[in-house]
Amino acid sequence: MIKSLVGVFFWLCFVVASPLLADEISPRMVLILDDLGVNAAQGRAALDLPGPITYAVLPFTPDATRFSIKAHAKPSKEVILHAPMANIANLPLGPGGLYPHQSEAEFKQVLRNNLDSLPMVKGLNNHMGSLLTQQERPMRWVMEVAKERDLFFIDSRTTAATQAANMAREAGVSVLERRVFLDHEIDSHAIEQQFLRAVEIALEEGEVVVIGHPYPETLEYLHRGLPLLDELGIQRVTASAFLRQETDLQKRQALQSQQRDMESALRLTSE
Ligand SMILES: [Zn+2]
């Protein structure tokens, strides 16, 4: 009995001591660029940015397929669906729009068609959505489709009253929430201020999710600003890499607690 306990204990020590421990992960930033697919020139410029980036592509836009294939082929880049969702200002959503008046069958079919149009997507986030994301029922439908396709969701948080993250957790869908919008104001100085705010959050809280757009001002600033992250030891990761790290951490924490239980069991047996 003691022999087998000791064996398991050493195995746990080995597993827990290998790769990363929770407090050894450096601060992380997930950078998402929205509204891709509309403008081919902007898309090309957005793809020229270095390092891990998650690109959110609007369905059925002129450059959507070509852009997604190019992004998908690049290392450390990934594509998600930028799902157009009804907004309070009633701004037009374009093709693939999701609205509260749709029946469940119609709503899910529109969403599935959007996803089918971009087969390389790993997740989705909301385009606009200040009206739809407040409503539990349609957000539950979104998460049911995300779950059946094994996709993650990023809540762009276009309203403080959003229910998206709650509904994702309830459905067992991996979720991230946007903390900083880079370019509400399309001005180099304002973009820099927002980027520095994101850097501060990453350093203080260990993680930050940032959303920007492929505006020339934003891309120009990012070329200058991104090297700062390396200097500060902030790791840039795609959304899916971030979520994978989270899963690894949780597994590791579970093993650590098993190890602690084992240590106390061994202590009791030797007394
Ligand atoms: Zn958008």
Percentage of residues in the chain having pLDDT higher than 90: 86
The pLDDT-based confidence of 161 (bands split at 50, 70, 90) is very high
Q: For residue 153, which of 132, 137, 139, 136 has the smallest C-alpha distance?
A: 139
Give the model's pLDDT for residue 9: 45
pLDDT digits (tens, 9 = 90+) for 127-148: 999 999 999 999 999 999 999 9
pTM: 0.88
* DSSP-derived secondary structure letter, 54: E
Domain range list for the chain: 27-239
Q: Name which residue leads in pLDDT, 112 or 16.
A: 112
**Residue-wise burial string across 153-177, b where 16 or more C-beta atoms lie within 10 A, e elsewhere:** bbbbbbbeebbbbebbeebebbbbe
**How far is the centre of ligand 1, averaged over its atoms, from the C-alpha of 218 (Å)?**
15
Q: For residue 57, which of 30, 77, 28, 75 has the smallest C-alpha distance?
A: 77
Ion ligand 1 residues within 5 Å by Cβ = 34-35, 127
**How far is the centre of ligand 1, averaged over its atoms, from the C-alpha of 35 (Å)?**
5
Give the model's pLDDT for residue 271: 72
27-239 adopts what CATH topology?
TIM Barrel (3.20.20)
**How far is the centre of ligand 1, averaged over its atoms, from the C-alpha of 36 (Å)?**
8
Give the model's pLDDT for residue 119: 86
Of 2-6, 55-59, 118-122, 220-224, the least confident: 2-6
**How far is the centre of ligand 1, averaged over its atoms, from the C-alpha of 125 (Å)?**
9
How is residue 100 written in tokens? Answer: 């509260």
**How far is the centre of ligand 1, averaged over its atoms, from the C-alpha of 80 (Å)?**
12
**How far is the centre of ligand 1, averaged over its atoms, from the C-alpha of 271 (Å)?**
63
**How far is the centre of ligand 1, averaged over its atoms, from the C-alpha of 75 (Å)?**
24
Whether residue 212 contacts residue 32, with contact meaning beta carbons closer than 8 Å, is answered with yes
Which residues, at least 6 apart from 6, have a Cβ–Cβ distance to it below 8 Å? 266
**How far is the centre of ligand 1, averaged over its atoms, from the C-alpha of 127 (Å)?**
4
**How far is the centre of ligand 1, averaged over its atoms, from the C-alpha of 169 (Å)?**
23
Which residues, at least 6 apart from 23, have a Cβ–Cβ distance to it below 8 Å? none
**How far is the centre of ligand 1, averaged over its atoms, from the C-alpha of 103 (Å)?**
24
Report the chain's mean pLDDT, rounded to a whole number: 92
Alpha-carbon distance of 90 to 71, in angstroms, equals 31
Mean pLDDT within 221-225 = 98
**How far is the centre of ligand 1, averaged over its atoms, from the C-alpha of 34 (Å)?**
5
**How far is the centre of ligand 1, averaged over its atoms, from the C-alpha of 66 (Å)?**
19
Q: In 3-state terms, what secondary structure has residue 30?
A: strand
pLDDT digits (tens, 9 = 90+) for 192-218: 999 999 999 999 999 999 999 999 999
